[in-house]
Amino acid sequence: MEPQVGLKVKRIEAEAWAEPGPGMTLEALEAELRRLDHVIIEVDTDRGRIKVMQFKEEFNG
Amino acid sequence: MASLIVNQGLQRIGINASQAVGFAAGRFIQTMSVDDATGAFAAANTKLDDGAGFTQEFDAVLDATPTIAAQTVSHVMTVPTGSGNFTISRIALHDDTAANVNSASATLVGGVDGQSLTKNNSFSLTITLKITYTSA
């Protein structure tokens, strides 16, 4: 019988949020990110930030 | 794009959990890096420039002590406006202080590759990298 107990890395996730530098508005940041060909995943107006990356990988076996 | 905890990183996790031979105070996951390497992480990698296409790198200590929810550990680093201004391809974790982490330091734990995040000095970037552990 195969052992049924062990420890493994099941999942790795990553995300990145861009925040405007001094004097830059959120709207200007969005325009700049689009100019740089970022994928705009989410605009969080409450926290003044824009999500530009989301990654998730599951490991099986 | 893919992600991987390299063999050296798994060894560090095991050493620290059991305080096995090789355990050293201060050697734990505490630094994150971004770089522009085009190659993927491989299990045998021990440092950032083991892969292909490496030219630029930025690293910093994590913003705060990593947090854990159930079996998921979260690591957060902010790349400030004046740093990391290149096309970020990889995000990695390291088991040493930021002062000891560079492209040639054997501190690589693992990370995510295959990204394409062009950064410039008009904005900062806050990156979260989560690892979930489980029983088999």
pLDDT value, residue A61: 59
Q: What's the token pair of residue B88?
A: 């970020």
pLDDT of residue B64: 98
Write the DSSP string, chain A: ------EEEEEEEEEEEEEE-TT--HHHHHHHHHHTT----EEETTTTEEEEEEEEEE---
Which helix or strand (DSSP H or E) is residue B77 part of?
A: strand B72-79
With 0-12 / 13-18 / 19 or more C-beta atoms within 10 angstroms meaning exposed / middle / buried, residue B21 is exposed
Which parts of chain A register pLDDT below 50? none
A21/B91 CB distance under 8 A: no
- Name every chain A residue with its beta carbon within 8 A of the beta carbon of B93: none
Which residues 22-81 in chain B show a CB within 8 A of chain A? 71-72, 81
> Which residues on adjacent β-strands are paired with residue B113?
B2
Task: Please give the pLDDT value at position B31.
Answer: 98
Cβ-nearest to A14 among B71, B91, B120: B91
Predicted local distance difference test score (pLDDT) of residue A7: 77
Cβ distance B56 to B119 under 8 Å?
Answer: no
| d(CA A45, nearest CA chain B) in Å | 16
Interface pTM, i.e. ipTM: 0.94
- Chain B residue with CA closest to A2: the answer is B136
Write out chain A residues lying below 8 Å of B136, CB-based.
Answer: 3-8
How long a stretch of residues is chain A?
Answer: 61
> What are the tens digits of pLDDT across the range B68-96?
999 999 999 999 999 999 999 999 999 99
Provide CB contacts within 8 A for A46, sequence distance 6+. none
Percent of chain B with pLDDT over 90: 94
pLDDT of residue B126: 98
Q: How confident is the model over B12-47, as pLDDT tens digits?
A: 999 999 999 999 999 999 999 999 999 999 999 999
Q: For position A1, what pLDDT does the model report?
A: 52
pTM, two decimals, is 0.94
Count of domains in chain B? Answer: 1
Higher local confidence (pLDDT), A1 or B128: B128
- Is B91 in the A-facing interface, judged by CB distances under 8 Å? yes
Chain B residue with minimum CA distance to A50:
B125
Q: Which domain range does residue B46 map to?
A: 2-132
Q: Cα–chain-centroid distance for residue B64?
A: 15
Q: What is the pLDDT of residue B51?
A: 80
